[in-house]
């Protein structure tokens, strides 16, 4: 069968996925059978969810474009700072209200996102099919380190998390989805992703231990699971997390990784003043 050639060039962070010799250069991609540009891109290791614009000989194409001999293909990532509004982007619209579904390995990242107020499902150890269903059915972007999951056609919004450190992962996600303006700290339950509202006196009396009821403040009630939160000993650490994420610095985050890991074990602090609410969680 006749071997055909296309000239491919990947831009910006898409090069992260390529073998070293193919990064930042135009290279010849050989193919025999007719194949879609999506298949060609993913055969090189780049999940299609990372791609926002494909130009063939200077004109935008869809993922279904059939590669032809001699095609010159430029592949661009999701743009954050370039104005390409005059071109046809592959995704019709960004997710207006960012919402996520994280895979089983990203539980800590899911809690960090909830801490910042972002709607983040974490279904746990479920098959990839189920994760994809949640993404499509609930209009959520998939967060995973499994590139195979992002290659599924059904998954249109997603991000291949690069780092293994939750502290760096949250900085990546905030940057990639441009989330910093939408941060609403302590508005969402870390355990169940439910929304928090101010607790009523009745809820406080029913759920808070005596010592807490007398001394703590800023009580919040989860509409999802009924947990009560109050301002506690992790307050400062969580404030630092929020501040450092907003500033896109990941350095401080590692210090509070443990603090946010399981808030229910720690004793509440008492008599602390300040604005904001959250922290201790009682089942
Ligand atoms: Zn909850």
How far does the centroid of ligand 1 lie from the alpha carbon of residue 192, in Å? 4
How far does the centroid of ligand 1 lie from the alpha carbon of residue 266, in Å? 18
How far does the centroid of ligand 1 lie from the alpha carbon of residue 194, in Å? 5
Nearest to 253 by CA among 46, 147, 113: 113
Same domain, 103 and 70: no
37-95 tens-digit pLDDT: 999 999 999 998 888 888 888 888 889 999 999 999 999 887 543 444 445 555 545 55
What is the pLDDT, as a whole number, of residue 266?
A: 33
Same domain, 18 and 73: yes
Same domain, 155 and 225: no
Same domain, 205 and 270: yes
How far does the centroid of ligand 1 lie from the alpha carbon of residue 251, in Å? 29
For ion ligand 1, residues whose CB falls within 5 Å:
189, 191-192, 194, 222, 224-225, 227
How far does the centroid of ligand 1 lie from the alpha carbon of residue 246, in Å? 24
Q: With left for phi above 0 and alpha for psi between -120 and 50, is residue 104 left, alpha or beta?
A: alpha
CA distance 189 to 221: 9
Residues in the chain predicted with pLDDT less than 70, given as ranges, are 1, 79-96, 232-239, 246-283
How far does the centroid of ligand 1 lie from the alpha carbon of residue 155, in Å? 27
Would 127 be classed as within a structural domain? yes
How far does the centroid of ligand 1 lie from the alpha carbon of residue 119, in Å? 12
Secondary structure of residue 235 in the 3-state scheme: helix
- Domain tally for the chain? 3
How are beta strands 51-56 and 59-60 bridged, if at all?
antiparallel
CATH number where 43 lies: 3.10.20.30
Would 176 be classed as within a structural domain? no
What is the pLDDT, as a whole number, of residue 23?
A: 92
What is the pLDDT, as a whole number, of residue 258?
A: 32
How far does the centroid of ligand 1 lie from the alpha carbon of residue 134, in Å? 19
Same domain, 157 and 231: no
Same domain, 10 and 67: yes
Nearest to 193 by CA among 142, 119, 143, 130: 119
How far does the centroid of ligand 1 lie from the alpha carbon of residue 195, in Å? 7
Count of residues for the chain? 283
Would 266 be classed as within a structural domain? yes
How far does the centroid of ligand 1 lie from the alpha carbon of residue 91, in Å? 33
Would 111 be classed as within a structural domain? yes
What is the pLDDT, as a whole number, of residue 65?
A: 93
How far does the centroid of ligand 1 lie from the alpha carbon of residue 94, in Å? 28
Nearest to 116 by CA among 272, 254, 240: 240
Would 16 be classed as within a structural domain? yes
Entry pTM: 0.64
**Burial label, 105 (beta-carbon count in 10 A; 0-12, 13-18, 19+):** middle
Would 168 be classed as within a structural domain? no
How far does the centroid of ligand 1 lie from the alpha carbon of residue 225, in Å? 4
How far does the centroid of ligand 1 lie from the alpha carbon of residue 8, in Å? 48
Domain carrying residue 139 = 99-161
How far does the centroid of ligand 1 lie from the alpha carbon of residue 281, in Å? 9
What is the pLDDT, as a whole number, of residue 106?
A: 96
Same domain, 223 and 275: yes
Would 186 be classed as within a structural domain? no
Which residues are paired to 191 by β-bridges? none
CA distance 95 to 277: 28
Same domain, 201 and 277: yes
CA dihedral 63, 67, 73, 75 (to 10 degrees): 20
CA distance 68 to 8: 12
Nearest to 261 by CA among 245, 237, 283, 240: 237
Same domain, 68 and 110: no
How are beta strands 158-160 and 141-144 bridged, if at all?
parallel
Would 128 be classed as within a structural domain? yes
What is the pLDDT, as a whole number, of residue 195?
A: 93
How far does the centroid of ligand 1 lie from the alpha carbon of residue 258, in Å? 20
Same domain, 202 and 274: yes
């Amino acid at each position: 069968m006749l071997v055909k050639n296309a000239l491919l060039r990947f831009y910006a962070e898409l090069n992260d996925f390529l073998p070293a010799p193919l990064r930042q250069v135009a290279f010849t991609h050989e193919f025999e059978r007719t194949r879609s540009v999506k298949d060609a891109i993913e055969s090189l290791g780049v999940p299609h969810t990372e791609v926002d614009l494909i130009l063939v000989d200077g004109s935008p194409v869809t993922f279904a474009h059939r590669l032809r001999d001699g095609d010159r293909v430029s592949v661009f990532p999701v743009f954050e700072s370039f104005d390409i509004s005059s071109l046809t982007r592959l995704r019709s619209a960004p997710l207006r209200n960012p919402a996520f579904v994280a895979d089983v390995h990203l539980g800590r990242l899911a809690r960090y996102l909830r801490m910042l107020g972002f709607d983040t499902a974490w279904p746990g150890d479920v098959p990839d099919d189920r994760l994809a269903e949640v993404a499509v059915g609930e209009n959520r972007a998939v967060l995973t380190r499994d590139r195979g999951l992002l290659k599924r056609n059904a998954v249109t919004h997603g991000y291949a998390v690069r780092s293994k450190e939750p502290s760096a992962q949250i900085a990546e996600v905030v940057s990639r989805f441009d989330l910093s303006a939408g941060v609403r700290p302590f508005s969402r339950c870390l355990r169940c992703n439910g929304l928090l509202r101010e607790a009523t006196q009745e809820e406080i009396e029913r759920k808070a231990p005596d010592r807490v009821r007398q001394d703590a403040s800023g009580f919040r009630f989860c509409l999802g699971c009924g947990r009560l939160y109050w301002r506690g000993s992790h307050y400062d650490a969580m404030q630092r997390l929020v501040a450092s994420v907003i500033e896109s610095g990941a350095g401080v985050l590692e210090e509070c990784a443990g603090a946010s890991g399981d808030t229910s074990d720690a004793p509440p602090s008492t008599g602390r003043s300040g604005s904001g609410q959250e922290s201790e969680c009682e089942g």
